Amino acid sequence: MDVFRGLRAFFWQDKGFLLGSVLGLAAATALGLVYPMLLRILIDDMIVPGEYGGLLGLALLAVGIVVLKAGCQYVHGFCGGRLGNRTATRLRMTSYEKLQVLPFSFYDTARTGDLMSRLTADIEGIRNFIGFGFAQLLNTGFLVLFGFTMMAMIDWQLMLMTLVVIPVLAFVAIRFELNIHPVFRSIRVAVGRLTVSVQENISGVRTVKSFPSEQHEMKKFRSGNENYRDNNLNLAAGWAKYFPIIEFIANLSIVLLLLAGGLRVINGSLTLGALVSLNAMLGMIVAPLWTLGFQINNYTQSKAGGERLLELLHQPVTIHSDQDAIVLDDSQVRGHVQYDRVSFRYPNHEHQPSALIGFNLDAKPGSVIGMLGGTGSGKSTVVQLLLRAYDVSEGAIKLDGIDIRSLELESLRRQIAVVFQETFLFSTTIHENIAYGCADASMGDVVEAAKLAQAHDFIMELPDGYETIIGERGMGLSGGQKQRIAIARALLLKPKVLILDDSTSALDMETEHAIQRSLRQVMAGRTTFIIAHRISSLRQADEIVVLEKGRVVQRGKHDQLIRQPGLYRETYQTQYADRPDDLDSASDCERQVIG
């Protein structure tokens, strides 16, 4: 019950509906138990003595009870539906809000499918149980209690005799649930695997087809599919065994009642009406016990789902704004970025070397900082830390002289626009993709940003221009076109700091140069970080930082770096091998420096 205590905040505010749902069902059940009493009156007081005077009144009473019972059932359904759905909506919203504030480090290890099932299947289980399952479980208890009390009022000895069967019935139902529960769990795991297979197959369709791995994928899917089938067969076999056993036990109690009760009617110590009434009551008590297994299953499933949701909701939000955080005045921000002896190791990677060690940088407002380095050398880490995707382990990063940890998070991130290495486009129109994060942008602003990013011309060639809908991963667009849309999106924000993380790699040289020319115009007075593997992207930078294994190994301007032996010059020589003039002049310069 700890789980439901943990979830109390989500359903307790609708306690009126909870009460309505439980009381509605309990009242409907209690009214149902009046029927056998009416039967008894009908037989003992009217049919047997042949006195039909009260028949109309009895019939009207029965109709009244039917109407009242229907009303109570409506109250149960209405309140249960409201309670379950309102609880589920709150839970869904809160979980989604939590996903928005969880830090990047959480997503480093999170699995998409798992998170999706928490927000869908787990919440659905809770909706069912809190809305209806809980009331039904309580109701089974009420029914046994009220039913046997009424039976005892008619004949306590026969009641005791039939009562013996109830624990056996409950025992079998609970045992069945315990056996079947792991099968249900396996079915859920199997469904999860199938979903992941389908999801990955569709997402990775290009890789699958280009490595011709369709057969391998089919084999993987077939084994998952067969596993799913086998689990369902196990479930069906379990049910097939359960129903006859439970029916046998339930009917045994009725047989016992009819046998002993029949003898009592014959020897005159019990009326016929009482026996018929007892029989009807017993039938009503036994029916929900059949479904006790289901009800317990519903409870355990929603409890497990609740645990998984609470686990998500209790995840620590390690990156957040302090209460007294400084909110930047956007118009006053200059974009002066400083890294002061910054070291950083990724959370949960304590065994790995630091991704950044003693990193210093002073990027004056409006300057262009270039970053070069081998793969895994720490370039992206530098910019991730500026965004506060993670907090530095040592040292400090400052924006306009203020430690970024003292700034309100949203206010900090509003100053920075990033074009990531991997372009992510939403499955909506190009217009909305460019205007993402800038909802009040006019069409003119969007077109202007697209022109600066050299995207306007190709967008106009598309069938619906800016209103063309693109797929989740920008299906139908080339890598370079996707990058240009992502650049337009960042430029539209007119940020104080622009970060291009290897985001022109898919562009041809000519387009890249055209974008750089536009950037110079649009980024004048703003600070730009360019991470690139191409010297052509970096040569205009005010300062180029060369990283190796998290340390700065070279820094300076292009003209200085091509004169020093090191990674920058090696990269330059490789990329300009077909332009020996440039290389010669660099070597001459170096000879002069050395000489």
Ligand X SMILES: Nc1ncnc2c1ncn2[C@@H]1O[C@H](COP(=O)(O)OP(=O)(O)OP(=O)(O)O)[C@@H](O)[C@H]1O
| Interaction site with ligand X (CB under 6 A) | 108, 346, 349, 355, 373, 375-381, 421
List all residues 6 or more positions away from 449 whose beta carbon is below 8 Å from its beta carbon.
434, 441, 488, 489, 491, 492
Spatial separation of the C-alpha atoms in residues 292 and 176, rounded to whole Å? 10
- CA pseudo-torsion sign 23, 29, 32, 36: negative
Q: Which is nearer to ligand X, 110 or 577 (CB)?
A: 110
Q: Which is nearer to ligand X, 93 or 317 (CB)?
A: 317
Q: Which is nearer to ligand X, 377 or 415 (CB)?
A: 377
Q: Which is nearer to ligand X, 381 or 415 (CB)?
A: 381
Residue 406 tokens read as 């003292």
Q: Which is nearer to ligand X, 328 or 499 (CB)?
A: 499
Q: Quote the least distance from Cβ 387 to ligand X, whole Å.
A: 13
Q: What number of CA atoms fall less than 13 Å from residue 356's CA on the CB side? A: 30
Name the phi and psi angles at 310, rounded to 5.
-65, -35
Q: Quote the least distance from Cβ 471 to ligand X, whole Å.
A: 25
Spatial separation of the C-alpha atoms in residues 459 and 484, rounded to whole Å? 10
List all residues 6 or more positions away from 331 whose beta carbon is below 8 Å from its beta carbon.
none
Q: Quote the least distance from Cβ 380 to ligand X, whole Å.
A: 3
Q: What are the angstrom distances between the C-alpha of 574 and each of 224, 506, 534, 569, 584?
A: 48, 19, 10, 8, 13
Q: Which is nearer to ligand X, 301 or 380 (CB)?
A: 380
Q: Quote the least distance from Cβ 112 to ligand X, whole Å.
A: 16
Q: What is the DSSP letter of 332?
A: G
**155 torsion bin: left (phi>0), alpha (psi -120 to 50), beta (else):** beta
Q: Which is nearer to ligand X, 270 or 490 (CB)?
A: 490
Q: Quote the least distance from Cβ 325 to ligand X, whole Å.
A: 25
Q: Quote the least distance from Cβ 73 to ligand X, whole Å.
A: 54
Q: Quote the least distance from Cβ 359 to ligand X, whole Å.
A: 11
Answer for the pair 516, 537: CB distance below 8 angstroms, yes or no: yes
Query: End-to-end distance of the chain based on CA atoms, in angstroms?
Result: 81
List all residues 6 or more positions away from 181 whose beta carbon is below 8 Å from its beta carbon.
297, 300
Q: What are the angstrom distances between the C-alpha of 285 and each of 17, 150, 168, 591?
A: 26, 11, 14, 100
Q: Which is nearer to ligand X, 346 or 458 (CB)?
A: 346
Q: Quote the least distance from Cβ 349 to ligand X, whole Å.
A: 5
